[in-house]
Amino acid sequence: MWFVLAGVVLLALKLIDISPVAAWSWWIILAPFALAAAWWAYADASGFTQRKVMKQMDDKKAARRDKQMEALGQFDPNKKKRR
């Protein structure tokens, strides 16, 4: 996401002719978009994206379980959780 943001900023600066960026080559301006595409390809191929989604789902499930246990009056925040 940072690469895309940097690319959009550089592209905007190039199009409105802001001083040092206006003189740069188009290859430099468009490079962050290529880096973003490469990062997304790597993240998907390595499973990074899927692991991150699974971690978020596990965290939501644990929070929901804790909330339900607290509503039942069976939640003790000082008790160590078993895994």
**In this predicted model, which residue has the larger pLDDT, 3 or 77?**
3
Radius of gyration, CA atoms only, the chain: 23
Record the pTM: 0.60
Q: Give which of 10, 38, 37, 39 is closest to 26, Cα–Cα.
A: 10
- For 5-55, what is each residue's pLDDT tens digit? 999 999 999 999 988 999 999 999 999 999 999 999 998 888 887 888 899
State mean pLDDT over 68-78. 75
State mean pLDDT over 56-75. 86
d(CA 72, CA 70): 5
79 pLDDT tier (thresholds 50, 70, 90): low
